[in-house]
Structure 1
């Protein structure tokens, strides 16, 4: 007797459904973090969002937490502090027995630097004296790299419990990096690009070491190109969304535009749900790296 066909497993809700999943997103109050929050919560997940500003988080709950199949819950925290991270773990643990998805999205940019000087003394003046400080490097690395490590490792037991309790599912960590960590140009901010390169390599190391330990948690990263956020647009509107002019990207990116919320949502759902994806960088950049040949 032949076995039945498996058409049901190809339904969208079975491939990408988030119903009943529990997620935590750092920096979930705006930009890519908010895009990720919506993509999971609208499709059925209970999403905890964290960040330093309580008012921003509460506004996300008010604006985007209504009439959806999932739920958005705000918990303020500073993920650059180990003490604050531990408090966050304790608070989540008091509410949930497991964590299915962790998205490390919190990040900051750095000051712009003029790298176009052709005279070595002028270049020295700009890069060594004018625009670079040790504290700038420390702040960016602390936020863009350190927190990925400490938040991920702090939640390992809750993430592992998710895998143990759910047949056919392995919990997942998604680090939000950037194509700035892939390309060779500094893009006029050395420390930011260096931090994103570190984030990509840290993802690989965590994926390897966790798998080598026999712990079933997938660790991947999404490397966005230009998406509208407070970092790229320098501001957000009353719905905590930012915008970028399409015209500025025509001829610079094969897609001819910046990324849309839906582009990021699709990448998040794919990376979170694909059980065969581990230790990888998912580049979502409209073809920017392809066009520049700058890897």
Structure 2
């Protein structure tokens, strides 16, 4: 009898359905009622995950859960929560724990753009007035609270459930995915400096969380996607009845992609960072070469 080749590989491990399957996984996504949060929720549910999405507006997440659970191997479940409130985050943990005893995937996606300021000026006095009187401490506080602090506190609150995910599943590390922005890596303000600074901070928070969790011996990976322009409520101001959006202009034809980012582009990036167990503390730019 011929001996088994010790160098033979298991080809089944390299099939796409095994490389990118989220079958049986649990996920929680903030801001899952539209845009990028919806795209990631759909990608995970289609590939077999039970995906809990939440926002402050139940109508949106309820609509997404009803629409995109159809024909999916997994399921999307709507919850309600406010990422800017500690009390709401604690209630969210309690509500989620009624359904699941572990959390495999946490996506911190909720964010706001905040107000814009005018950097165009012909004199120093004019520029000073534009910046000083055209912005406010309240705007900066709201943007930083929603775009940075919320990712910190939501992640902190779910560490026990994330840790249980890693402890109870062989060859799996629970993962946190933060949605930041290409704006956090630019030297131009784009007329919303608070937003850009918040996204830069979110990228740094990603590295710090990944490092501190590892130093404490917890097998929880933390990565970020820094998107460019995608079809979303933030870029268009509204959504279609299915909660997806569409940018209607030719501004982005000069990109190598020839278009803004689409739902499948985000799905591919998210599945890679969530499922590749050897990627940690990275912020991956997905911007079409902008």
Specify the TM-score bucket, using the shorter chain as the normaliser. over 0.9
Q: Deviations over 1:167-193 (max 9, x none)?
A: 111010000000000111111100000
Task: State which of 206, 210, 217 in structure 1 corresponds to 2:209.
Answer: 206
Q: What is residue 140 of structure 1 aligned with on the other side? A: 143
* Structure 1: runs of 5+ lacking an equivalent: 289-295
Tell me if 1:104 matches 2:81.
no
Give the Cα–Cα distance (whole angstroms) in 2 for the partners of residues 175 and 36 of structure 1: 12
TM-score (norm 2): 0.97
Gap change, CA 1:254 and 1:117, over 3 Å in 2: farther
Tell me the residue number matched to 1:77.
Answer: 81
Are 1:190 and 2:226 matched, yes or no? no
Number of aligned residue pairs: 286
- More displaced, 189-198 or 61-70? 61-70
Distance in 2 (CA, whole Å) between partners of 1:13 and 1:76 is 32
Separation in structure 1 between the aligned mates of residue 59 and residue 52 of structure 2, nearest angstrom = 15
8 Å contact kept, 1:16–1:273: yes
Deviations 1:30-52 (A, max 9, x none): 00000001000011000000000
- 5+ long unaligned stretches in structure 2: none
Counterpart of 1:178 in structure 2 is: 181
Q: Is the 8 A contact 1:104 1:148 kept in 2?
A: yes
Provide, for residues 132-167 of structure 1, a one-character-per-residue CA deviation record: whole Å limited to 9, x for no partner: 111111111110001000000100010011111111
Q: Alpha-carbon deviations, 1:203-259, whole Å to 9, x = none?
A: 0000000001000000000000000111101111111111113511122x3322100
**How many Å separate the matches in 1 of 2:223 and 2:248?**
30
Instruction: Determine if the alignment matches structure 1 residue 163 to structure 2 residue 172.
Output: no
2:143 counterpart of 1:126: no
Cα distance in 1 for residues equivalent to 2:248 and 2:58? 29
For residue 292 of structure 1, what is the aligned residue in structure 2? none
Q: 2:97 matched to which residue of 1?
A: 93
Runs of 4+ in structure 1 deviating by more than 6 angstroms, as ranges, are none
Show the 5 A alignment for 1:209-228.
209-228=212-231
Give the structure-1-normalised TM-score.
0.95
